[in-house]
Amino acid sequence: MSSHSTIAGSLEEPESTYLPQVVFPAGNYDFRAARNRCARACREFNKTPDDADPEERAQKWLDIVRPDRDRSEDRVLAVTHDQTFANPALKAKTPFVKPPVYIDYGIRLHVGGSTFINRNCMIMDTPVADVVIGEGCNIGANCTIIGVTHPMRLDERLQRHSIGQPVTIGNDVWIGANVTIFGGVTIGSGAVIGACSLVKHHIPPMSVAFGSPARVVKHLRDVKPCVPGSPTAGTMAEAVRMRNRLPMRHATSSSFLHHDEGSGPGDGEGSVEEGEEDGHRMDIMGGRRQSPFAMRARLNTARRVAERLELDSEGELRGLLLRERKQKERRMRRFEVEAIAVVTVAVTLLMAFFFTGVWFGASRVAVMGA
């Protein structure tokens, strides 16, 4: 990492410096004053237009994360991620952050100079634990990093203390939109986090993870390349002339069963079209009419299973769903047989006890009559 980067120190910190959580009184005056200072700096940064001078953007960012710096270095640090596209010889020293951004303290937030952070990022950092984002990262819109929490026990919460936890994101990590990352988590270098994921456990390097909570689904070496052979638009004029629109006739249930292997974490799951044919719905679901919500859930499940089993055709998926339905019917029949057997045994025992009682009662009456 560059010595002029906004990261202070190396990602390889000594293990003895790691504290899983640190308690601090966030409501005290000095902590509140630090938050107010950061809030003012964020407010000024968020007023910065996208086409502002790089030196102005860098200065306002550094006002958030390094308020006590030597300001004579601001001109040297005014090289951001976007400028390196036009001049690859430049080395980014201040991250390119699109406003608005919301940060609590900033003083222990370290972001690599070549990192890009998209709009509406929220970083709930603390003054007792580092939040580190490495070099070359791409962080999607509406992401949240939560480095603060509170005690779970009521008696501890009533003391109104906060708990700070460190977060470390390695180099060259891609985090999709709307991802939430909890404190005490490390995301290894080169990892990819799918959109809308909730990261509450460590993610190993060079892996793909998504879900709530996020789970590793594959290693990057298993992902097929998507760039070679794809159409390319090298200029804005070429991009505008390119005809590229997804026809509505392709929006059928088969689109839920197949997707491009190269799709990134920012891609959505799609939605069920109202005009889908009922016959196709019933055919895919094994002959039973499904509501759109139930069909979407089962199709998404089938698609995930197909990814893991590497099924390529819709016929194979239809067979997989049919086998699943038959297995479920067999389980239901077995459950019904077992339930009937249990009820039969219970009724038999009750009748045996009843008639045994009647026999003893009749015998006793007969003895007393004699």
Please tell me whether the overall predicted TM-score, pTM, comes out greater than 0.85 for this model. no
Cα(63)–Cα(103) distance, integer angstroms:
12
Predicted confidence at residue 329, as pLDDT, reads: 87
| Rounded Cα gap, residues 172 and 112, in angstroms | 10
Residue 11 dihedral angles phi and psi, to the nearest 5°: -70, -20
Whether the Cβ atoms of residue 210 and residue 264 lie closer than 8 Å to each other: no
Would you state the pLDDT for residue 365? 73
Q: Cα separation of 170 and 165, whole Å?
A: 17
Q: What is the pLDDT along the chain (370 residues), one digit of tens a residue?
A: 443 455 544 445 545 578 888 999 999 999 999 999 999 999 999 999 988 888 888 899 999 999 998 887 777 777 777 777 777 788 888 899 999 999 999 999 999 999 999 999 999 999 999 999 999 999 999 999 999 999 998 988 888 889 999 999 999 999 999 999 999 999 999 999 999 999 999 999 999 999 999 999 999 888 887 766 778 888 888 888 888 888 876 554 444 444 444 445 554 444 434 343 344 443 434 444 555 556 666 666 666 655 555 555 556 666 767 787 888 888 888 889 999 999 999 999 999 888 888 888 777 777 776 6
Q: Which residue has the tokens 């003012």?
A: 40
Task: Give residue 266's pLDDT.
Answer: 55
What's the pLDDT at 290? 52
Catalytic sites, residue numbers: 150
Fold classification of 15-222 is UDP N-Acetylglucosamine Acyltransferase; domain 1 (2.160.10)
Q: Say what the pLDDT of residue 34 is.
A: 96
How many Cα atoms within 13 Å fall on the side-chain side of residue 30?
A: 3
Q: Single out the residue of 79, 50, 84, 49 nearest to residue 62, CA to CA.
A: 79
The secondary structure element, H or E, covering residue 308 is helix 292-309
Residue extents of the structural domains in the chain: 15-222
Q: Which of 300, 313, 248 is nearest to 274 (CA)?
A: 248
Quote the CA–CA distance of 253 and 255 in Å, as a whole number: 5
- The pLDDT value recorded for residue 269 is 42
Q: To 10 degrees, what angle do helices 54-65 and 29-46 make?
A: 170
> What pLDDT does residue 301 have?
66
Q: Residue 239 burial by CB count (10 A; 0-12/13-18/19+): exposed, middle or buried? A: exposed
Rounded Cα distance between 163 and 256, Å, is 42
CA–CA dist 33, 26 (Å, integer): 10
Give the model's pLDDT for residue 313. 54
CA distances from 102 to 66, 146, 359 (A): 16, 12, 83
Q: Kindly give the pairing relationship between strand 101-103 and strand 207-210.
A: unpaired
> Per DSSP, which regions of 212-287 are E strands?
215-219
Give the number of other Cβ atoms within 10 Å of residue 313's Cβ. 11
